[in-house]
A and B are shown apart, each in its own frame.
Chain A
Amino acid sequence: MASLRDIRGRINATKKTRKITKAMEMVSAAKLNRSQEQAQSYQAYTDKLRSVVAHIAKSNRASLRHPMLVTRPVKKTGYFVITTDRGLAGAYDTNVLKAVQQMIDERHRSKDEYKIIVIGRKGLSYFNKRSMPVVSQVTGLSDQPTFDDVKKLTRLAVGLYEREEIDELYLVYNHFVNPIVQQVKSVKLLPLADIGEQEDSGPATYYEYEPSPEEVLETLLPLYAEGLIYGALIDAKTAEHAARMTAMKNATDNATELIDKLTLSYNRARQAAITQEITEIVAGANAIQ
């Protein structure tokens, strides 16, 4: 049986760990709150953008030949993968990377058939280790990224598609369902084939396009695609904070449980030591009589 000193040491160590995990849990909870607010203010933007884009696309379906709306034969696929910079977020990164790996294994035979754009150190090191083709990456993103932080990357992703270096673009990230559940989501971002089909807001107002519908779309579609990527990033960040919060909560709970168990055995050991001492004293006293 471990000595009293050893057990006390372990209890103290575990208590300190618990303090840290508890603090991290609360930090993540605060960040989660902020992310959710951010997601809300972003929602207003994207809803608006979507409704305008869908409206133009719907009313001019036949005449529109914008490259971002047209499906072309796929020779090369782009994957936009969002992971974290730091660990301690449970299976967050593992889930995303597993999903990407699976998609790639199923669809591609050689490394020339796809390109990867990655956010986050975890994903980057994963792909580098397997020497998969990463064309661009961003690490060290803040917890509440602004649109400016990712503009370069979104522009690059959309640019790759426009220059026909990739023929379709998938977004793979963790979607925030609720603080306990995150879900890996892979969305086909480009081409924007299904736009305007799910929206059915009835006969909307007739707009005048200045100078022409084609030229309006020309500016709108890249904005829209970049907006969608940013939206996914906020979603992923929210999910990250949620995942970290849950992971840290579990760690705190486990530490509490461990401390309870150790305290029990500490008390038992102490009781045993006392009992033994009394036995010895009584035996000694008896021997003198």
Chain B
Amino acid sequence: MSTILTTIVTPNGKVFEGHVQMVSVRAKSGDMGVLPNHMPLVAPLEISAVKLKTEEKDEYVAVSGGFIEVRRDSITILTESAERQEDIDVARAERAKEEAEARLAELGEGSPEYEAAKNDLKRAENRLRVASLK
């Protein structure tokens, strides 16, 4: 089966680089599976899991938004932070989740902090979800 070079890049360096058979992402406009020879495309992503199907196994990476850029010869996912399934610190994510929940309970709806806390919560939950995926 044909493969395509895929990289996940964050400000702290590359998180993933390799040839994959398929990339599944959750874009703002809906779920999307990208196979080799897809047409060039740019789409923003949700805080979600990215599934990378390689020859040996399926890999999951938790991304906090960002976007995917599909080219003829490569796919790049750019995001502020990304963690591979095996790198996720579950204890830390649990803590972050609790903190975010506590802040949400304090803050009134509609304030900019409320949105930020909600995003933090989403990110923590996303990490936990990805960590538990099989």
Chain A residues within CB distance 8 Å of chain B = 38, 41-42, 44-46, 48-49, 52, 56, 146-148, 151, 155, 159, 205-211, 215-216, 218-220, 223, 226-227, 230-231
Contacts and interface: CB of A to CB of B under 8 A. Distances in A.
Contacts of A220: 44, 67
Contacts, number: 84
Nearest first, the 3 closest Cβ-Cβ pairs linking A and B are A41-B13, A210-B43, A219-B44
Nearest to A37: B13
Which residue of A155, A210, A219 has the most chain B CB atoms within 10 A of its CB atom? A210
Nearest to A205: B40
Given A41-B14, A159-B112, A205 B71 contact: yes
B127 to A, nearest CB: 13
A106 B127 CA distance: 49
A147 B28 contact: no
Interface string B1-27: 000000001111110000000000001
B69 A52 contact: yes
A148 B65 CA distance: 14
Secondary structure dominating the interface of A:
helix
Interface string B64-77: 01110101100010
A161 to B, nearest CB: 14
A223 B41 CA distance: 18
Interface of B: 9-14, 27-29, 32, 39-44, 65-67, 69, 71-72, 76, 78, 80-81, 112, 116
A218 B67 CA distance: 11
A211 B28 contact: yes
A48 B76 contact: yes
Contact of A147 (B12, B29, B39, B71): B12
B65 A219 contact: yes
15 contacts: A41-B12, A41-B14, A42-B13, A52-B69, A147-B12, A147-B81, A206-B40, A208-B39, A208-B40, A210-B28, A215-B28, A220-B67, A223-B65, A223-B67, A231-B11
